[in-house]
Structure 1
Amino acid sequence: MSKVVLITGGSSGIGKSIGEFLVQKGFTVYGTSRNPDRITNSAFPLIALDVRNSETIKTAVAQVIALSGKIDVVVNNAGVGITGPLEETPIEEIKNNFDINLFGPIEVMKAILPQMRIQKSGLIINITSIAGYSGLPYRSIYSASKGALELITEALRMEVKSFGIEITNVAPGDFATNIASGRFHSPVIKGSPYESVYETMLKTMDEHVDGGSNPVEMAQAIFDIIQNPKPKIHYKVGAFMQKFSIVLKRILPDKVYEKILMNHYKL
Protein backbone atom coordinates (compact mmCIF):
# COMPACT_ATOMS: atom_id res chain seq x y z
CA MET A 1 0.00 0.00 0.00
CA SER A 2 1.16 3.56 -0.68
CA LYS A 3 1.84 5.82 2.26
CA VAL A 4 -1.10 7.99 3.32
CA VAL A 5 -0.24 11.66 3.81
CA LEU A 6 -2.42 14.36 5.40
CA ILE A 7 -1.40 17.96 4.63
CA THR A 8 -3.04 20.83 6.48
CA GLY A 9 -3.40 23.98 4.42
CA GLY A 10 -3.20 21.95 1.22
CA SER A 11 -5.23 24.16 -1.09
CA SER A 12 -2.53 26.67 -2.04
CA GLY A 13 1.10 27.66 -1.73
CA ILE A 14 3.64 25.29 -0.23
CA GLY A 15 1.00 22.79 0.92
CA LYS A 16 -0.45 22.47 -2.57
CA SER A 17 3.02 22.03 -4.09
CA ILE A 18 3.90 19.33 -1.58
CA GLY A 19 0.64 17.47 -2.26
CA GLU A 20 1.02 17.59 -6.03
CA PHE A 21 4.61 16.38 -5.81
CA LEU A 22 3.74 13.47 -3.52
CA VAL A 23 0.81 12.41 -5.71
CA GLN A 24 3.24 12.16 -8.63
CA LYS A 25 5.45 9.95 -6.47
CA GLY A 26 2.59 7.53 -5.82
CA PHE A 27 1.48 8.62 -2.35
CA THR A 28 -2.15 8.75 -1.25
CA VAL A 29 -2.60 12.42 -0.36
CA TYR A 30 -5.35 14.27 1.46
CA GLY A 31 -5.21 18.02 1.90
CA THR A 32 -7.26 20.29 4.11
CA SER A 33 -8.91 23.65 3.61
CA ARG A 34 -11.36 25.73 5.59
CA ASN A 35 -13.57 25.86 2.48
CA PRO A 36 -12.72 22.88 0.25
CA ASP A 37 -15.86 23.34 -1.86
CA ARG A 38 -14.39 26.56 -3.25
CA ILE A 39 -11.32 24.76 -4.62
CA THR A 40 -11.92 23.18 -8.02
CA ASN A 41 -8.39 22.54 -9.28
CA SER A 42 -6.87 20.29 -6.61
CA ALA A 43 -4.91 17.21 -7.72
CA PHE A 44 -5.87 15.42 -4.48
CA PRO A 45 -8.96 15.31 -2.22
CA LEU A 46 -9.48 18.24 0.14
CA ILE A 47 -11.18 17.81 3.51
CA ALA A 48 -12.76 20.56 5.60
CA LEU A 49 -10.55 21.57 8.52
CA ASP A 50 -9.97 24.80 10.43
CA VAL A 51 -6.94 24.52 12.72
CA ARG A 52 -8.65 26.95 15.12
CA ASN A 53 -11.49 24.45 15.63
CA SER A 54 -10.52 21.22 17.39
CA GLU A 55 -13.73 19.44 16.36
CA THR A 56 -13.00 19.95 12.66
CA ILE A 57 -9.50 18.57 13.26
CA LYS A 58 -10.81 15.42 14.94
CA THR A 59 -13.43 14.96 12.21
CA ALA A 60 -10.87 15.36 9.41
CA VAL A 61 -8.46 12.86 10.97
CA ALA A 62 -11.28 10.36 11.50
CA GLN A 63 -12.39 10.84 7.89
CA VAL A 64 -8.96 10.05 6.48
CA ILE A 65 -8.63 6.98 8.70
CA ALA A 66 -12.09 5.80 7.57
CA LEU A 67 -11.12 6.26 3.92
CA SER A 68 -7.62 4.78 4.01
CA GLY A 69 -7.34 2.85 7.27
CA LYS A 70 -4.23 4.70 8.42
CA ILE A 71 -2.26 7.94 8.32
CA ASP A 72 1.47 7.50 7.80
CA VAL A 73 2.54 11.14 7.51
CA VAL A 74 1.07 14.43 8.70
CA VAL A 75 2.46 17.67 7.28
CA ASN A 76 1.46 20.48 9.63
CA ASN A 77 1.60 23.19 7.01
CA ALA A 78 -1.38 25.47 7.71
CA GLY A 79 -0.11 28.85 8.82
CA VAL A 80 -0.50 32.57 8.39
CA GLY A 81 1.81 35.56 8.35
CA ILE A 82 1.52 38.72 10.38
CA THR A 83 3.44 41.99 10.28
CA GLY A 84 3.48 45.22 12.20
CA PRO A 85 5.10 47.12 15.03
CA LEU A 86 4.36 45.14 18.18
CA GLU A 87 3.00 48.24 19.87
CA GLU A 88 0.42 48.75 17.12
CA THR A 89 -0.58 45.14 16.42
CA PRO A 90 -4.09 44.38 17.77
CA ILE A 91 -4.03 41.77 20.52
CA GLU A 92 -6.85 39.81 18.84
CA GLU A 93 -4.67 39.43 15.72
CA ILE A 94 -1.74 38.27 17.85
CA LYS A 95 -3.95 35.63 19.47
CA ASN A 96 -5.33 34.56 16.08
CA ASN A 97 -1.80 34.10 14.75
CA PHE A 98 -0.83 31.87 17.65
CA ASP A 99 -4.10 29.95 17.27
CA ILE A 100 -3.21 29.14 13.65
CA ASN A 101 0.59 28.83 13.78
CA LEU A 102 1.04 27.14 17.16
CA PHE A 103 -2.10 25.91 18.90
CA GLY A 104 -3.58 24.57 15.66
CA PRO A 105 -0.58 22.33 14.88
CA ILE A 106 -0.58 21.16 18.51
CA GLU A 107 -4.25 20.15 18.19
CA VAL A 108 -3.50 18.30 14.93
CA MET A 109 -0.68 16.37 16.62
CA LYS A 110 -2.88 15.52 19.61
CA ALA A 111 -5.57 14.22 17.23
CA ILE A 112 -3.23 11.99 15.19
CA LEU A 113 -0.94 10.59 17.90
CA PRO A 114 -3.43 7.93 19.17
CA GLN A 115 -3.71 6.49 15.64
CA MET A 116 0.05 6.51 15.15
CA ARG A 117 0.51 4.71 18.47
CA ILE A 118 -1.89 2.01 17.27
CA GLN A 119 0.13 1.73 14.05
CA LYS A 120 3.41 1.84 16.03
CA SER A 121 4.69 4.15 13.33
CA GLY A 122 4.19 7.58 11.87
CA LEU A 123 5.88 10.79 10.88
CA ILE A 124 4.81 14.34 11.72
CA ILE A 125 6.48 17.16 9.80
CA ASN A 126 5.93 20.63 11.25
CA ILE A 127 6.41 23.45 8.77
CA THR A 128 7.94 26.31 10.74
CA SER A 129 10.07 29.14 9.31
CA ILE A 130 13.63 30.42 9.20
CA ALA A 131 12.03 33.53 10.72
CA GLY A 132 11.41 31.39 13.81
CA TYR A 133 15.14 31.35 14.61
CA SER A 134 15.41 35.11 15.17
CA GLY A 135 13.25 37.90 16.50
CA LEU A 136 12.75 39.86 13.28
CA PRO A 137 11.66 43.52 13.42
CA TYR A 138 8.04 44.10 12.46
CA ARG A 139 7.57 40.30 12.33
CA SER A 140 7.88 39.63 16.05
CA ILE A 141 4.63 37.69 16.38
CA TYR A 142 5.32 35.50 13.36
CA SER A 143 8.86 34.79 14.58
CA ALA A 144 7.55 33.94 18.05
CA SER A 145 4.76 31.59 16.90
CA LYS A 146 7.04 29.68 14.53
CA GLY A 147 9.90 29.58 17.02
CA ALA A 148 7.57 28.16 19.65
CA LEU A 149 6.53 25.35 17.28
CA GLU A 150 10.20 24.48 16.76
CA LEU A 151 10.64 24.01 20.52
CA ILE A 152 7.38 22.07 20.90
CA THR A 153 8.67 19.67 18.25
CA GLU A 154 12.00 19.20 20.02
CA ALA A 155 10.23 18.20 23.23
CA LEU A 156 7.49 16.06 21.69
CA ARG A 157 10.01 14.02 19.66
CA MET A 158 11.43 12.66 22.90
CA GLU A 159 8.00 11.96 24.39
CA VAL A 160 6.80 9.79 21.48
CA LYS A 161 10.01 8.16 20.20
CA SER A 162 9.34 4.94 22.14
CA PHE A 163 6.04 4.55 20.21
CA GLY A 164 7.83 4.40 16.86
CA ILE A 165 6.73 7.94 15.94
CA GLU A 166 9.11 10.46 14.38
CA ILE A 167 8.59 14.25 14.44
CA THR A 168 10.66 16.87 12.66
CA ASN A 169 10.71 20.57 11.79
CA VAL A 170 11.16 22.00 8.32
CA ALA A 171 11.90 25.72 8.30
CA PRO A 172 11.44 27.37 4.89
CA GLY A 173 12.82 30.74 3.91
CA ASP A 174 11.05 32.96 1.40
CA PHE A 175 9.14 31.09 -1.29
CA ALA A 176 7.12 32.49 -4.15
CA THR A 177 3.61 31.84 -2.79
CA ASN A 178 0.50 33.83 -1.91
CA ILE A 179 1.46 34.14 1.78
CA ALA A 180 2.03 37.90 1.42
CA SER A 181 -1.56 38.44 0.28
CA GLY A 182 -2.93 36.24 3.05
CA ARG A 183 -0.97 37.62 6.00
CA PHE A 184 -2.36 40.21 8.40
CA HIS A 185 -0.70 43.59 8.01
CA SER A 186 -1.11 46.01 10.85
CA PRO A 187 -2.17 49.22 9.10
CA VAL A 188 0.38 51.95 8.49
CA ILE A 189 -0.86 54.69 10.82
CA LYS A 190 -0.34 58.24 9.65
CA GLY A 191 1.67 60.19 12.21
CA SER A 192 2.87 57.02 13.94
CA PRO A 193 6.51 57.00 15.07
CA TYR A 194 6.83 53.75 13.09
CA GLU A 195 5.09 55.03 9.93
CA SER A 196 8.01 55.61 7.57
CA VAL A 197 10.13 52.61 8.56
CA TYR A 198 7.22 50.16 8.67
CA GLU A 199 5.87 51.26 5.30
CA THR A 200 9.28 50.64 3.74
CA MET A 201 9.59 47.29 5.53
CA LEU A 202 6.24 46.12 4.16
CA LYS A 203 7.40 46.71 0.59
CA THR A 204 10.69 44.92 1.27
CA MET A 205 8.99 41.88 2.81
CA ASP A 206 6.59 41.53 -0.11
CA GLU A 207 9.49 41.80 -2.56
CA HIS A 208 11.32 39.01 -0.73
CA VAL A 209 8.30 36.71 -1.10
CA ASP A 210 7.73 37.64 -4.75
CA GLY A 211 11.38 36.90 -5.49
CA GLY A 212 11.45 33.76 -3.39
CA SER A 213 12.39 30.22 -4.34
CA ASN A 214 10.18 27.75 -6.20
CA PRO A 215 7.88 25.86 -3.77
CA VAL A 216 8.86 22.63 -5.55
CA GLU A 217 12.10 22.83 -3.55
CA MET A 218 10.05 22.42 -0.38
CA ALA A 219 8.11 19.54 -1.93
CA GLN A 220 11.34 17.73 -2.81
CA ALA A 221 12.66 18.29 0.72
CA ILE A 222 9.48 16.83 2.26
CA PHE A 223 9.68 13.82 -0.06
CA ASP A 224 13.30 13.19 0.96
CA ILE A 225 12.40 13.43 4.66
CA ILE A 226 9.55 10.93 4.26
CA GLN A 227 11.99 8.51 2.62
CA ASN A 228 14.41 8.83 5.55
CA PRO A 229 13.65 6.32 8.35
CA LYS A 230 15.52 8.48 10.88
CA PRO A 231 14.87 12.13 10.06
CA LYS A 232 16.83 14.92 11.70
CA ILE A 233 15.26 17.24 14.27
CA HIS A 234 15.60 20.38 12.15
CA TYR A 235 15.74 21.08 8.43
CA LYS A 236 16.14 24.45 6.73
CA VAL A 237 15.09 24.98 3.11
CA GLY A 238 15.72 28.21 1.22
CA ALA A 239 18.33 30.62 -0.07
CA PHE A 240 21.89 30.18 1.21
CA MET A 241 22.04 33.52 3.04
CA GLN A 242 18.74 32.89 4.81
CA LYS A 243 20.03 29.57 6.12
CA PHE A 244 23.45 31.04 6.88
CA SER A 245 21.83 33.73 9.05
CA ILE A 246 20.97 30.98 11.55
CA VAL A 247 24.64 29.98 11.71
CA LEU A 248 25.66 33.60 12.22
CA LYS A 249 23.26 34.00 15.13
CA ARG A 250 24.72 30.89 16.75
CA ILE A 251 28.36 32.02 16.53
CA LEU A 252 28.25 35.83 16.78
CA PRO A 253 27.79 37.93 19.93
CA ASP A 254 24.16 38.96 20.34
CA LYS A 255 24.70 42.66 19.72
CA VAL A 256 26.83 42.03 16.64
CA TYR A 257 24.10 39.87 15.14
CA GLU A 258 21.48 42.47 16.08
CA LYS A 259 23.54 45.14 14.28
CA ILE A 260 23.69 42.97 11.15
CA LEU A 261 19.90 42.57 11.20
CA MET A 262 19.34 46.29 11.70
CA ASN A 263 21.68 47.10 8.81
CA HIS A 264 19.92 44.55 6.62
CA TYR A 265 16.52 46.06 7.38
CA LYS A 266 17.90 49.62 7.25
CA LEU A 267 16.83 50.43 10.81
Structure 2
Amino acid sequence: MRRIAVLPGLMVLAVTAVTGGASAGDATAVAHGPYLGQTPPGMIAQPFAPGIVNTEEWGDAGGFSQDMTKFYVSRWRHSRESEQPESVIFKRVGNEWHKVPMPDEERKLFESPDGKTLHFKAQYKERTPDGWSEMKSLGPAFEQIQIMTLKASAKGTLVLDERGTREGISILRYSRFTDGKWEDPKPLPDEINTGIWNAHPFIAPDESYIMWDGERESGYGESDLYISFRQEDGSWGEAINMGDKVNTAAEEGGPRVTPDGNYLFFNRMVPKAGGDGKRQSDLFWIDARIIEELRPN
Protein backbone atom coordinates (compact mmCIF):
# COMPACT_ATOMS: atom_id res chain seq x y z
CA MET A 1 0.00 0.00 0.00
CA ARG A 2 1.27 3.41 -0.87
CA ARG A 3 2.49 5.58 1.96
CA ILE A 4 1.05 9.08 1.93
CA ALA A 5 3.45 10.87 4.25
CA VAL A 6 3.81 13.73 1.78
CA LEU A 7 0.14 14.60 1.83
CA PRO A 8 -0.11 16.84 4.90
CA GLY A 9 2.65 19.04 3.57
CA LEU A 10 1.28 19.17 0.08
CA MET A 11 -2.00 20.44 1.43
CA VAL A 12 -0.24 23.58 2.60
CA LEU A 13 1.82 24.51 -0.38
CA ALA A 14 -0.49 27.35 -0.49
CA VAL A 15 0.06 30.96 -0.75
CA THR A 16 -1.86 33.45 1.31
CA ALA A 17 -1.19 36.94 2.53
CA VAL A 18 0.65 37.01 5.84
CA THR A 19 -1.86 38.03 8.46
CA GLY A 20 0.28 37.97 11.56
CA GLY A 21 3.65 37.09 13.02
CA ALA A 22 6.89 39.00 13.00
CA SER A 23 7.80 41.42 10.27
CA ALA A 24 10.87 40.87 8.13
CA GLY A 25 12.69 43.54 10.09
CA ASP A 26 12.26 41.51 13.27
CA ALA A 27 14.15 38.48 11.95
CA THR A 28 17.70 37.77 10.85
CA ALA A 29 18.25 37.23 7.14
CA VAL A 30 18.70 33.52 6.44
CA ALA A 31 19.47 33.72 2.71
CA HIS A 32 20.23 36.19 -0.08
CA GLY A 33 19.27 36.23 -3.75
CA PRO A 34 16.54 34.55 -5.79
CA TYR A 35 15.10 31.18 -4.77
CA LEU A 36 16.25 31.50 -1.15
CA GLY A 37 19.82 31.95 -2.34
CA GLN A 38 20.01 28.46 -3.84
CA THR A 39 22.09 27.54 -6.86
CA PRO A 40 19.56 26.64 -9.58
CA PRO A 41 19.47 22.97 -10.52
CA GLY A 42 20.09 21.62 -13.99
CA MET A 43 18.28 18.74 -15.62
CA ILE A 44 18.69 16.33 -12.70
CA ALA A 45 16.48 16.90 -9.65
CA GLN A 46 18.27 18.20 -6.55
CA PRO A 47 17.16 18.79 -2.92
CA PHE A 48 15.90 22.33 -2.38
CA ALA A 49 17.52 24.45 0.33
CA PRO A 50 18.96 21.73 2.61
CA GLY A 51 19.06 22.93 6.21
CA ILE A 52 16.72 25.82 5.42
CA VAL A 53 13.65 24.16 3.93
CA ASN A 54 14.57 20.47 4.09
CA THR A 55 15.24 19.38 7.67
CA GLU A 56 16.38 16.13 9.27
CA GLU A 57 13.55 16.00 11.81
CA TRP A 58 10.39 16.53 9.76
CA GLY A 59 8.54 15.95 6.55
CA ASP A 60 8.95 19.19 4.60
CA ALA A 61 7.12 20.74 1.67
CA GLY A 62 6.89 24.25 0.28
CA GLY A 63 5.95 26.63 -2.47
CA PHE A 64 6.30 30.24 -3.65
CA SER A 65 3.61 32.88 -3.60
CA GLN A 66 2.49 34.12 -7.01
CA ASP A 67 4.67 37.22 -6.71
CA MET A 68 7.70 35.09 -5.68
CA THR A 69 8.27 37.21 -2.55
CA LYS A 70 7.22 34.54 -0.04
CA PHE A 71 8.06 30.88 0.33
CA TYR A 72 5.70 28.85 2.50
CA VAL A 73 7.12 25.81 4.29
CA SER A 74 4.91 23.20 5.85
CA ARG A 75 6.33 20.61 8.23
CA TRP A 76 4.59 17.70 9.87
CA ARG A 77 5.32 15.09 12.52
CA HIS A 78 6.49 11.57 11.74
CA SER A 79 5.05 10.11 14.93
CA ARG A 80 2.74 11.04 17.77
CA GLU A 81 5.73 11.14 20.10
CA SER A 82 7.42 13.92 18.15
CA GLU A 83 7.22 17.52 19.23
CA GLN A 84 5.14 19.86 17.11
CA PRO A 85 7.16 21.04 14.09
CA GLU A 86 7.32 24.66 13.05
CA SER A 87 5.74 25.69 9.77
CA VAL A 88 7.29 28.94 8.59
CA ILE A 89 7.21 31.62 5.91
CA PHE A 90 10.33 33.03 4.26
CA LYS A 91 9.69 36.62 3.15
CA ARG A 92 11.88 38.39 0.62
CA VAL A 93 12.74 42.02 1.34
CA GLY A 94 15.08 43.40 -1.28
CA ASN A 95 17.69 40.70 -1.78
CA GLU A 96 17.24 39.10 1.65
CA TRP A 97 15.00 36.27 2.86
CA HIS A 98 13.74 36.43 6.45
CA LYS A 99 12.09 33.57 8.33
CA VAL A 100 8.91 34.31 10.26
CA PRO A 101 6.52 31.89 11.99
CA MET A 102 3.40 30.91 10.13
CA PRO A 103 0.50 32.15 12.27
CA ASP A 104 -1.49 29.28 13.78
CA GLU A 105 -4.75 30.82 12.61
CA GLU A 106 -3.63 31.33 9.02
CA ARG A 107 -5.49 29.37 6.40
CA LYS A 108 -3.38 27.32 4.02
CA LEU A 109 -4.85 28.13 0.63
CA PHE A 110 -4.01 27.57 -3.03
CA GLU A 111 -3.70 30.81 -4.98
CA SER A 112 -5.01 31.11 -8.53
CA PRO A 113 -2.48 32.19 -11.18
CA ASP A 114 -4.02 35.67 -11.40
CA GLY A 115 -3.89 36.10 -7.62
CA LYS A 116 -7.61 36.92 -7.45
CA THR A 117 -8.87 33.70 -5.85
CA LEU A 118 -7.72 31.64 -2.88
CA HIS A 119 -8.85 28.01 -2.81
CA PHE A 120 -9.12 25.74 0.21
CA LYS A 121 -10.50 22.33 -0.70
CA ALA A 122 -14.21 22.90 -1.48
CA GLN A 123 -14.12 26.56 -0.45
CA TYR A 124 -12.64 29.77 -1.82
CA LYS A 125 -12.18 33.49 -1.24
CA GLU A 126 -12.21 36.28 -3.82
CA ARG A 127 -10.09 39.41 -3.80
CA THR A 128 -12.07 42.56 -3.06
CA PRO A 129 -11.11 46.26 -2.89
CA ASP A 130 -10.88 45.84 0.89
CA GLY A 131 -8.95 42.56 0.96
CA TRP A 132 -10.57 39.12 0.75
CA SER A 133 -14.19 38.05 0.79
CA GLU A 134 -15.65 35.65 3.30
CA MET A 135 -15.12 31.96 2.59
CA LYS A 136 -17.54 30.65 -0.04
CA SER A 137 -18.46 27.15 -1.20
CA LEU A 138 -17.60 25.83 -4.64
CA GLY A 139 -20.86 23.89 -4.47
CA PRO A 140 -22.40 20.71 -3.05
CA ALA A 141 -20.69 18.47 -5.62
CA PHE A 142 -17.27 19.63 -4.39
CA GLU A 143 -18.24 19.24 -0.75
CA GLN A 144 -18.98 15.55 -1.30
CA ILE A 145 -15.35 14.88 -2.34
CA GLN A 146 -12.54 14.46 0.19
CA ILE A 147 -10.24 16.88 -1.64
CA MET A 148 -6.54 16.87 -0.78
CA THR A 149 -5.16 19.07 -3.57
CA LEU A 150 -6.88 21.58 -5.85
CA LYS A 151 -5.16 23.76 -8.44
CA ALA A 152 -6.40 26.30 -10.99
CA SER A 153 -5.45 27.41 -14.49
CA ALA A 154 -5.41 31.02 -15.64
CA LYS A 155 -8.87 30.45 -17.16
CA GLY A 156 -10.20 29.24 -13.83
CA THR A 157 -10.34 25.54 -14.68
CA LEU A 158 -9.83 23.48 -11.53
CA VAL A 159 -8.15 20.10 -11.19
CA LEU A 160 -8.58 18.17 -7.96
CA ASP A 161 -7.97 14.82 -6.36
CA GLU A 162 -9.60 12.87 -3.57
CA ARG A 163 -8.40 10.85 -0.63
CA GLY A 164 -8.08 7.32 -2.00
CA THR A 165 -9.43 4.06 -0.66
CA ARG A 166 -7.26 1.49 1.10
CA GLU A 167 -6.87 -0.19 -2.27
CA GLY A 168 -5.49 2.99 -3.79
CA ILE A 169 -8.54 3.81 -5.87
CA SER A 170 -8.73 7.56 -6.42
CA ILE A 171 -9.96 9.76 -9.25
CA LEU A 172 -8.63 13.02 -10.62
CA ARG A 173 -11.32 15.46 -11.71
CA TYR A 174 -11.66 18.82 -13.44
CA SER A 175 -14.16 21.66 -13.34
CA ARG A 176 -14.47 24.49 -15.84
CA PHE A 177 -15.42 28.02 -14.85
CA THR A 178 -18.46 28.91 -16.95
CA ASP A 179 -21.00 31.72 -16.65
CA GLY A 180 -19.53 32.94 -13.37
CA LYS A 181 -19.45 29.59 -11.57
CA TRP A 182 -17.66 26.27 -11.54
CA GLU A 183 -19.26 23.25 -13.14
CA ASP A 184 -19.70 20.08 -11.11
CA PRO A 185 -16.38 18.16 -11.19
CA LYS A 186 -16.02 15.51 -13.88
CA PRO A 187 -13.45 12.67 -14.02
CA LEU A 188 -10.45 13.22 -16.24
CA PRO A 189 -10.07 10.55 -18.97
CA ASP A 190 -8.47 7.13 -18.63
CA GLU A 191 -5.22 8.47 -20.06
CA ILE A 192 -4.84 10.12 -16.65
CA ASN A 193 -7.03 8.00 -14.35
CA THR A 194 -5.18 4.72 -14.83
CA GLY A 195 -3.23 2.83 -12.18
CA ILE A 196 -3.66 3.58 -8.47
CA TRP A 197 -3.03 6.40 -5.98
CA ASN A 198 -3.49 9.14 -8.60
CA ALA A 199 -3.19 12.38 -6.65
CA HIS A 200 -1.85 15.95 -6.37
CA PRO A 201 -2.67 17.26 -9.87
CA PHE A 202 -1.16 20.44 -11.29
CA ILE A 203 -2.58 22.14 -14.39
CA ALA A 204 -0.45 24.53 -16.42
CA PRO A 205 -1.71 28.14 -16.36
CA ASP A 206 -2.37 27.88 -20.12
CA GLU A 207 -3.89 24.38 -19.69
CA SER A 208 -1.33 22.84 -22.07
CA TYR A 209 -0.52 20.00 -19.67
CA ILE A 210 -1.50 18.31 -16.41
CA MET A 211 0.99 16.69 -14.02
CA TRP A 212 0.22 14.38 -11.12
CA ASP A 213 1.62 11.41 -9.21
CA GLY A 214 0.46 7.81 -9.29
CA GLU A 215 1.51 4.17 -9.39
CA ARG A 216 1.57 2.12 -12.58
CA GLU A 217 3.15 -1.23 -13.37
CA SER A 218 5.43 0.52 -15.87
CA GLY A 219 6.79 2.92 -13.23
CA TYR A 220 10.12 3.03 -11.42
CA GLY A 221 8.84 1.64 -8.15
CA GLU A 222 6.42 3.47 -5.91
CA SER A 223 4.50 6.53 -7.08
CA ASP A 224 6.06 8.45 -9.98
CA LEU A 225 5.37 11.81 -11.57
CA TYR A 226 3.38 11.70 -14.83
CA ILE A 227 2.41 14.32 -17.39
CA SER A 228 -0.29 14.50 -20.06
CA PHE A 229 -0.22 17.13 -22.81
CA ARG A 230 -3.25 18.78 -24.39
CA GLN A 231 -3.79 17.57 -27.95
CA GLU A 232 -4.80 19.72 -30.93
CA ASP A 233 -8.39 18.46 -30.68
CA GLY A 234 -8.58 19.46 -27.00
CA SER A 235 -8.26 15.92 -25.62
CA TRP A 236 -5.55 14.75 -23.23
CA GLY A 237 -2.66 12.67 -24.53
CA GLU A 238 -1.38 9.41 -23.07
CA ALA A 239 0.29 9.74 -19.69
CA ILE A 240 4.07 10.06 -19.94
CA ASN A 241 6.30 8.95 -17.08
CA MET A 242 8.59 11.93 -16.35
CA GLY A 243 11.66 9.70 -16.41
CA ASP A 244 14.73 9.02 -14.32
CA LYS A 245 15.75 12.68 -14.11
CA VAL A 246 12.78 13.02 -11.75
CA ASN A 247 11.56 9.58 -10.71
CA THR A 248 13.33 6.91 -8.68
CA ALA A 249 12.40 3.65 -6.96
CA ALA A 250 11.28 5.85 -4.04
CA GLU A 251 7.97 7.69 -3.85
CA GLU A 252 7.70 10.99 -5.74
CA GLY A 253 4.66 13.23 -5.51
CA GLY A 254 3.11 16.67 -5.54
CA PRO A 255 4.45 18.25 -8.77
CA ARG A 256 4.07 22.02 -9.17
CA VAL A 257 5.83 24.63 -11.29
CA THR A 258 7.05 27.91 -9.83
CA PRO A 259 4.91 30.94 -10.75
CA ASP A 260 7.72 32.27 -12.96
CA GLY A 261 7.64 28.99 -14.92
CA ASN A 262 11.33 28.23 -14.38
CA TYR A 263 11.40 25.23 -12.06
CA LEU A 264 9.46 22.08 -11.25
CA PHE A 265 9.15 21.30 -7.53
CA PHE A 266 8.06 17.98 -6.05
CA ASN A 267 8.49 15.81 -2.97
CA ARG A 268 10.44 12.57 -2.61
CA MET A 269 10.53 10.06 0.22
CA VAL A 270 14.17 9.72 1.31
CA PRO A 271 15.94 7.80 4.12
CA LYS A 272 15.54 9.63 7.40
CA ALA A 273 18.70 10.80 9.16
CA GLY A 274 19.83 8.35 11.83
CA GLY A 275 19.87 5.16 9.81
CA ASP A 276 16.80 3.67 11.49
CA GLY A 277 15.30 2.59 8.18
CA LYS A 278 12.51 5.17 8.35
CA ARG A 279 11.81 7.68 5.60
CA GLN A 280 10.79 11.29 5.38
CA SER A 281 9.60 13.60 2.63
CA ASP A 282 12.04 16.17 1.23
CA LEU A 283 11.48 18.88 -1.34
CA PHE A 284 13.30 18.64 -4.70
CA TRP A 285 13.53 20.90 -7.74
CA ILE A 286 14.61 20.62 -11.37
CA ASP A 287 14.74 22.93 -14.38
CA ALA A 288 11.24 23.15 -15.90
CA ARG A 289 12.75 22.55 -19.33
CA ILE A 290 12.21 18.88 -18.45
CA ILE A 291 8.56 19.47 -19.38
CA GLU A 292 9.42 20.63 -22.89
CA GLU A 293 11.80 17.71 -23.31
CA LEU A 294 8.87 15.36 -22.69
CA ARG A 295 6.41 17.17 -24.97
CA PRO A 296 5.75 15.07 -28.09
CA ASN A 297 6.76 16.63 -31.38
| Fold conserved between structures, TM > 0.5 | no
Relative to its length, the structure with more strand (as a share) is 2
Bigger relative contact order (CA 8 A; separation at least 6): 1
Pick the structure with more helix per residue: 1
**TM-score, reference length from structure 2:** 0.28
